[in-house]
């Protein structure tokens, strides 16, 4: 198949839309040889057409999205190299030509690097790679230049998804004697701001041409590089790291079994939750593993370490708060029409700013003293009628929602409260450092009746509670900080309030 002298570039593609591959050749002095395929692999004499310049590299791409292959060439200039776009009329005639000027451009490839559905152009020059972004109609912005040290204009260029993230990354050969191929990773918008230099072989001092193919059949692209001034070819196998696609459940408490699903998870050596090691995990296969949420774990990302690298989940696993438990409370009742009732509640898992309480459907003021003690105040209007009503203690959990436990408090009438304080004793009297309170009457076990000492203004100056059990039941109030005077002691029982006057010396 004769095409003429000084052929410098060649490309194959179905340029006339008849379903077979034709051959285009740059025949020197601005001539293009078009060898139309007869359909059986034979070609009649070439049709010679004039094109702009003398192509150094030539490729066929549908740059204007009209369904036919256009001709893109890089011109072998030194100061103002042209990238020429020759539009196909659909029958193999390249009539309309446009040019983009770049500095020292030579090697050429087309790829949709910004993922907008059209083909962009990339060309190498003496300092790196010029990226020309297609606007969708076959016109190109004078795009950015990606600086790559040690590159020559005629060193190879290739694009492919090297890191498995769905966009096209960029690889170029170079002139450096350390035998490195530049690998630049795409952010997805045609921006290559991260990457590395891959050394291909100690003896491959000038990797000129690069190609990408899955030579080991593992589903990723491997690297092949040839030597500019030698006979060696280097093959470097791609080893993609592990990947987490999902985990379930998305939240839980200590002891929850979590299943992690992904790829290349085999040989996992460590599992971390929020940066802290998880002691118990089970390798299922290369696509899954399970682990148990440890005690004291905090919400955060799940990270896995495998022989192929480390990976973290995109979303955090959320640790849910433990529900509160209530072991006792005091007092066990309030009196209809009395002043606000202050209850002390003992239990577990009380959390400041996350633990709340309700009584008869209304929120109560809560003070979390510690993880095992809190106080709530029932206002007088809520004590307006007698009955037995639940107080519900709630603890908010991460991720929304709440866990709770309830107990019942009786609201009694004054007639059902003790009529006298005969069973209530205090000593010594007068008191100085402290006063011991003894209750000889009947009171239910399992709760600690509250003791409150009020001054003449009705202000609470000391608090305490009787012992949980015993007969008689006693409690101690510290009074060393109080001024001399007469105070009122209140004992809150399930059946009502008992009061007694106390003299402080």
Q: For 90-105, write each residue's pLDDT tens digit.
A: 888 887 678 887 766 6
Do 193 and 62 have their domain in common? yes
What mean pLDDT, rounded, does the chain reach? 82
Q: Compute the distance between CA of residue 480 and CA of residue 477 in angstroms, rounded to an integer.
A: 9
Q: Once rounded to an integer, what is the mean pLDDT over residues 107-129?
A: 88
Do 166 and 280 have their domain in common? no
Who has greater pLDDT, 93 or 118?
Answer: 118
Query: Which of 276, 292, 319 is at the close of a domain?
Result: 319
Structural domain span for residue 484: 424-504
Residue 23 lies in a domain: yes
Q: Compute the distance between CA of residue 490 and CA of residue 459 in angstroms, rounded to an integer.
A: 12
Share of the chain above pLDDT 70, in %: 84
- Express each pLDDT in 164-205 by its tens digit: 888 999 998 875 556 678 888 898 888 887 777 777 765 556
Q: Compute the distance between CA of residue 130 and CA of residue 375 in angstroms, rounded to an integer.
A: 70
Closest of 48, 95, 47 to residue 71, by C-alpha: 95
Q: Looking at the 3D structure of the chain, how many domains does it have?
A: 4
Query: Which of 185, 216, 236 is at the close of a domain?
Result: 236
- 56: domain CATH number is 2.120.10.10
Do 257 and 382 have their domain in common? no
pLDDT band at 270 (very low <50, low <70, confident <90, very high): very high
3-state secondary structure of 196: strand
Residue 207 lies in a domain: yes
Residue 15 lies in a domain: yes
Q: Compute the distance between CA of residue 429 and CA of residue 219 in angstroms, rounded to an integer.
A: 90
Q: Which residue, chain included where needed, has tokens 């921006």?
A: 191
Who has greater pLDDT, 241 or 41?
Answer: 41
Cis peptide bond upstream of 374, omega within 30: no
Q: Are 188 and 168 in contact (CB under 8 A)?
A: no
**0.85 cut: is pTM over it?**
no
Q: Are 313 and 355 in contact (CB under 8 A)?
A: no
Do 102 and 172 have their domain in common? yes
Q: Compute the distance between CA of residue 70 and CA of residue 59 in angstroms, rounded to an integer.
A: 8
Q: Once rounded to an integer, what is the mean pLDDT over residues 46-75?
A: 85
Q: Are 180 and 150 in contact (CB under 8 A)?
A: yes
Closest of 67, 147, 158, 71 to residue 108, by C-alpha: 158
- 429: domain CATH number is 2.60.40.10
Do 292 and 145 have their domain in common? no
Do 404 and 431 have their domain in common? no
Who has greater pLDDT, 140 or 126?
Answer: 140
3-state secondary structure of 398: coil
Query: Which of 319, 349, 375 is at the close of a domain?
Result: 319
* Res 197: pLDDT: 78
Residue 417 lies in a domain: no
pLDDT band at 38 (very low <50, low <70, confident <90, very high): very high
Residue 381 lies in a domain: yes
Between strands 233-236 and 302-306, the pairing is unpaired
Q: Compute the distance between CA of residue 284 and CA of residue 291 in angstroms, rounded to an integer.
A: 10
Do 144 and 226 have their domain in common? yes
Between strands 333-335 and 402-412, the pairing is parallel
Do 266 and 384 have their domain in common? no
Residue 454 lies in a domain: yes
Q: Is 372 exposed, middle or buried (0-12, 13-18, 19+ CB in 10 A)?
A: middle
pLDDT band at 206 (very low <50, low <70, confident <90, very high): low
- Express each pLDDT in 437-463 by its tens digit: 988 776 655 667 889 999 888 788 999
Do 287 and 369 have their domain in common? no
Closest of 90, 27, 23, 87 to residue 53, by C-alpha: 27
Do 391 and 429 have their domain in common? no
Residue 415 lies in a domain: no
Do 255 and 128 have their domain in common? no
Q: Once rounded to an integer, what is the mean pLDDT over residues 271-295?
A: 92
* Res 420: pLDDT: 46
Structure tokens at 13: 């593609």
Do 298 and 331 have their domain in common? no
- Express each pLDDT in 384-431 by its tens digit: 777 777 888 877 765 555 666 666 666 766 555 554 456 788 999 899
Is the pLDDT at 491 greater than 60? The verdict is: yes
Q: List Cα–Cα distances, 201 to 148, 180, 224, 343, 346, in angstroms.
A: 19, 8, 11, 78, 71
Residue 418 lies in a domain: no
């Amino acid at each position: 198949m004769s095409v003429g002298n000084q052929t410098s570039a060649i490309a194959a593609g179905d340029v006339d839309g008849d379903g077979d591959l034709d051959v285009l050749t740059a025949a020197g002095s601005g001539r293009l040889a078009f060898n139309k395929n007869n359909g059986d692999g034979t070609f009649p004499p070439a049709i010679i057409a004039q094109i702009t310049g003398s192509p150094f590299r030539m490729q066929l791409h549908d740059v204007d999205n009209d369904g036919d292959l256009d001709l893109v060439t890089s011109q072998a200039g030194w100061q103002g190299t042209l990238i020429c776009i020759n539009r196909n009329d659909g029958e193999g005639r390249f009539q309309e030509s446009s040019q983009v000027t770049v500095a020292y451009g030579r090697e050429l490839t087309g790829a949709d690097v910004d993922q907008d559905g059209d083909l962009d152009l990339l060309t190498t020059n003496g300092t790196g790679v010029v990226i020309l972004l297609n606007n969708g109609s076959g016109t190109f912005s004078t795009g950015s230049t990606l600086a790559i040290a040690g590159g020559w204009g005629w060193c190879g260029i290739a694009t492919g998804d090297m890191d498995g993230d769905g966009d096209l990354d960029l690889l170029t050969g170079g002139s450096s004697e350390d035998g490195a191929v530049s690998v630049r990773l795409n952010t997805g918008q045609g921006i290559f701001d991260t990457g590395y230099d891959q050394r291909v072989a100690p003896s491959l001092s000038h990797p000129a041409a690069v190609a990408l193919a899955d030579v080991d059949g593992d589903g990723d692209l491997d690297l092949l590089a040839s030597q500019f001034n030698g006979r060696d070819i280097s093959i470097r196998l791609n080893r993609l790291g592990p990947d987490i696609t999902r985990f379930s459940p998305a939240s839980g408490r200590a002891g929850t079994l979590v299943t992690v699903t992904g790829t290349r998870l085999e040989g996992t050596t460590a599992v971390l939750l929020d940066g802290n090691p998880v002691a118990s995990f089970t390798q299922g296969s290369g696509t899954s593993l399970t682990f148990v949420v440890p005690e004291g774990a905090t919400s955060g990302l799940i990270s896995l370490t495998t022989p192929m690298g480390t990976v973290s989940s995109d979303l955090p696993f959320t640790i849910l708060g433990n529900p509160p438990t209530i072991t006792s409370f005091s007092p066990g009742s309030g009196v209809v029409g009395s002043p606000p009732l202050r209850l002390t509640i003992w239990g577990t898992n009380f959390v400041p700013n996350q633990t709340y309480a309700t009584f008869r459907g209304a929120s109560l003021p809560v003070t979390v003293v510690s993880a095992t003690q809190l106080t709530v105040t029932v206002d007088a209007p809520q004590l307006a009628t007698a009955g037995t009503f639940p107080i519900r203690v709630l603890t908010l959990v991460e991720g929304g929602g709440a866990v709770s436990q309830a107990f019942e408090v009786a609201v009694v009438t004054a007639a059902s409260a003790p009529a006298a304080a005969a069973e209530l004793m205090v000593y010594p009297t007068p008191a100085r450092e402290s006063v011991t309170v003894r209750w000889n009457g009947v009171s239910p076990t399992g709760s600690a009746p509250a003791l409150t000492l009020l001054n003449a203004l009705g202000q609470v100056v000391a608090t305490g509670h009787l012992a949980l059990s015993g007969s008689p039941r006693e409690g101690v109030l510290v009074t060393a900080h109080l001024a001399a005077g007469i105070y009122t002691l209140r004992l809150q029982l399930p059946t009502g309030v008992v009061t007694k006057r106390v003299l402080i010396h």
